[in-house]
Chains A and B, each alone.
Chain A
Amino acid sequence: MSPRHAEEGFSLLELLVSLALFSMAMGGVAGLLIQNSQINRATQVSAEVQANARNCLSMIVAVLRTAGWDPRNTGLSAVSLDPTPSNSANYIEVYADLNEDGDTDDADEDVTIRWTGTQISWRKSSDTSKPFVVLADGISNDADGDGNAETMFVPDSSTHPTRITVRITARSPTPDPRSGQYIRYTVSSDVVLRRNL
């Protein structure tokens, strides 16, 4: 605290120059920070989108694998396919006699999985008055991004399916601010209806 120190203080010019330099540096850092946060956000969104699609697919595949479980040999069909899948909605109905009593009237034995608009939902009952439960939202099912959704359940044969390809495309709710594009993530799985091997 000797006066000598005080004499070594900055001049206004020095201060201004240092301030300008500092703000320039900070400007750069801020840009970096903003970009960082954008990437961070995009990664987070893409992780969410992926999780959405994957979880949904694994739940559907588990149901489809058991399609046609008919331990009492009643001759039930494995699936009913949507006769007129459109680019705004399509469904599949999956039958399995889980409690082995010879019908598909009980809980979880008759599952209708559908995609409408942006949602995948299912009704795990033969009772059509029961509501659909939403499995995932933000599903565009538009893998190529041409604005038209593709069919979610593609059988190898429309009359006697033995293999069904399930394809789900999830889309981020908002476009990625950097590219202006939506983040899309497509997962697909080929499910062999194993009951006739």
Chain B
Amino acid sequence: MNGPKPTRTLARPPVPGLRQERGSALVMAIFVLVLLAGMGAALLFVSETEVKMSQVDMRSKQVFYISEAGLEDGRETLRVTNLQGATAALRGSLNDELTAAAGANGVINFDPATLAAVYDSAGNVTGFTGYGDDVPLRATTSFSGGKYAAFLTNDPIDGKTSLNDTNDRVMITAVGTGTNRALEVVQAIVERNPFPQMPATITMIGPLASFDGGNSNAKQYTGTDCAIPGLALPVVGTIGSASEASAELGVHKPSTYTSGAATGLATVSDVNATIDPSWKKCDYLHDLARQVRAAADVVGNSSTPSTSLGTSTAPKIVYIEGDYSISGGLDGGGLLWVTGTLTFSGNASWSGVLFTVGKGDFERSGGGNGVISGANLVANVAGPDRLMWTADDCSGPDGVVGTSDDGAAIATYNNSGGGTGLTQYCSSAISTVEEQFPLAIVGFRQR
């Protein structure tokens, strides 16, 4: 074993080299460590960008919803302000609200293009600027880590700066801010009237009308308005002459039907040409059902107690899914929407609007002396299965969407019980319901 010797001699001279060789393990180790650390850092960096990305995503979503909250707040503020108007004239128009929004100079200065947030030195929002001396519908309000404000202007048809609202439509603009100076502006055009004019005391939508007014000599039907002198609408309004003829079959005591000077069968009219076209559209009624459901104070079903309904002094918007029975003694008020059969006791009274839209079946067979004051609308839009919100809604008798028979089918209004009841048209009761209704959003944009 002489081997090691020469190696030793060979290795002898470059001693510093040997030292380097020895140290190289350390160098290598450091090198590897640095490499690993670098990799780790790169990984961290990538996940950091990922976090940042989702933060940006979250911020933009958050600020949008903050601004939308401002819009909703403004919409409700406007409704409540309008509802608090001292006179029916003030409640009946948004002009006073527009004038209030214009501020001291009497001119609407608001312009979404000049609207900006004001920041303090720390970068936090303190308020908004760029709207002159206008009075915000909703002043700067803190909400969910951000701030919002809402402003009122007229709609573009009237001219945004006009103080005269001719079409019951105004525009609400809301601005929202979140963290990192995120800012969002949303606008909505809102409409004061939730539904068009009620065309008759009892409006029956559909190709034919199954109407029965009963055999009582004491029960009265009138289309003469309770409030506006000279206003007289049909007692029964139908769509088309065939429907009118079918409804007339149910008029057993013509002398109990009056509308202004008209009596008897003359109070049953085809309102096809004069009615707001929306009422004839099954889709509109379907949409309206959704709006009522969304706006309702109470959404219930057949087991909802009658104490949950509105009264004539404290009206409510109530939406009932399915059948519903109202027993005697109730003095109800507001809007009641029933998608199933509405069985109404002859002794119960109602002030407001009754929508029996869905299955389209109104039954009031028991005797009694209840007064229904306002307007009724019955429509069968639920399709052959008679169930609302199913695929065959608005599909007509064949149950197939997209065929020529689509729309509302035959609706039923049966008031055949005896007694001294009164069914009358009442525009003031309808107005009370409309004032309860939230302002409908008819347009929405994110700027």
Q: Which residues of A contact B (CB under 8 A)?
A: 1, 3, 5-7, 9-12, 22, 26, 29, 32-33, 36-37, 39-40, 43-44, 47, 50-51, 54, 58, 62, 65-66, 68-73, 96, 98, 100, 159-160, 162, 194-197
Contact A22 B42, beta carbon cutoff 8 Å: no
The 3 closest A-B pairs by CB, nearest first: A6-B12, A9-B11, A194-B444
Q: Which of B39, B49, B189, B443 contacts A33 (CB 8 A)?
A: B39
Assuming the contacts A51-B53, A73-B169, A98-B445, asked whether A159 and B43 have C-beta atoms less than 8 A apart, the reply is: no
B8, B13, B156, B287 — most chain A CB neighbours (10 Å): B156
Contact B32 A29, beta carbon cutoff 8 Å: yes
Q: Which of B18, B25, B53 contacts A5 (CB 8 A)?
A: B18
Q: 6 new A-B pairs (CB below 8 Å) besides A5-B15, A196-B290?
A: A33-B36, A50-B53, A159-B283, A160-B283, A162-B290, A194-B188
Interface of A is mostly: helix
Chain B residues within 8 Å of A65, by CB: 444-446
Contact A66 B7, beta carbon cutoff 8 Å: no
Q: Which residues of B contact A (CB under 8 A)?
A: 3-4, 7-8, 11-13, 15-16, 18, 25, 28, 32, 35-36, 39-40, 42-43, 46-47, 49-50, 53-54, 57, 60, 155-157, 167, 169, 171, 188-189, 283, 286-287, 290-291, 294, 401-402, 440-446
Contact B156 A197, beta carbon cutoff 8 Å: no
Q: Which of A9, A33, A66, A160 contacts B18 (CB 8 A)?
A: A9
Chain A residues within 8 Å of B57, by CB: 54, 58
Q: Roughly how many angstroms separate A196 CA and B439 CA in the complex, as a whole number?
A: 11
Chain B residues within 8 Å of A51, by CB: 53
Q: Roughly how many angstroms separate A71 CA and B189 CA in the complex, as a whole number?
A: 7
Q: Roughly how many angstroms separate A36 CA and B43 CA in the complex, as a whole number?
A: 9
Assuming the contacts A7-B8, A71-B155, asked whether A47 and B49 have C-beta atoms less than 8 A apart, the reply is: yes
Q: Roughly how many angstroms separate A159 CA and B333 CA in the complex, as a whole number?
A: 35
Q: How far is the CB of B2 from chain A (nearest CB, A)?
A: 12
Contact A11 B4, beta carbon cutoff 8 Å: yes
Contact A96 B12, beta carbon cutoff 8 Å: no
Chain A residues within 8 Å of B157, by CB: 71-73
Q: How far is the CB of B1 from chain A (nearest CB, A)?
A: 10
Q: Roughly how many angstroms separate A3 CA and B8 CA in the complex, as a whole number?
A: 10
Contact A196 B442, beta carbon cutoff 8 Å: yes
Chain B residues within 8 Å of A195, by CB: 441-444
**What are 25 A-B residue pairs whose CB atoms fall within 8 Å in the complex?**
A3-B12, A6-B12, A6-B15, A9-B7, A11-B4, A11-B7, A12-B3, A12-B7, A33-B35, A33-B36, A39-B43, A43-B47, A58-B57, A58-B60, A69-B443, A70-B443, A73-B169, A98-B445, A100-B156, A159-B402, A194-B441, A194-B444, A195-B441, A197-B440, A197-B444
